[in-house]
Amino acid sequence: MTNILHHDDAGSGTITMLATLAVALTLLTGAATLNHAAIAAAKAAAAADLAALAASDADRGLMLADPCALAENTVARHSAQLESCDIEGDGVVRIRTVVETRLPLWNATGEARAGPPPTGDKFLENS
């Protein structure tokens, strides 16, 4: 009597292994992409924070420099680009930075605002 339902399983392990490898490589590529994006975002945010602090100090006369020129120099030292530098008055500065990534159609941006600490009545209102 012959077995009509006999199937040849030769090669099925190879197909399963190739599919598993493809899924693992896809997940690894996705994780590396997210890691690259997170690093670029942190770099953009740090550059914006430091540039805003430096520009605020320069605007208040604590440093002898043009606030936006100092911000641009600070941002460049952190491998980012200055997108905007807005002097809002009273030592308050708003900075926006960009870090180019290798990801298509996406660049990391950072934004920061810095100024003197609140004093007197302004401090009590914010508490």
Q: State the Cα torsion 39-40-45-51 to the nearest 10°.
A: 120
Maximum separation of any 2 CA atoms in the chain, in Å: 100
> Cα(9)–Cα(47) distance, rounded to whole angstroms?
58
Angstrom distances, CA of residue 59 to CA of 78, 90, 116:
21, 8, 10
**Mind listing the pLDDT tens digit for each residue in 12-59?**
788 899 999 999 999 999 999 899 999 999 999 999 999 999 999 999
What is the value of pTM for the model shown?
0.75
pLDDT digits (tens, 9 = 90+) for 57-66: 999 999 899 9
Q: What is the mean pLDDT of the chain?
A: 88
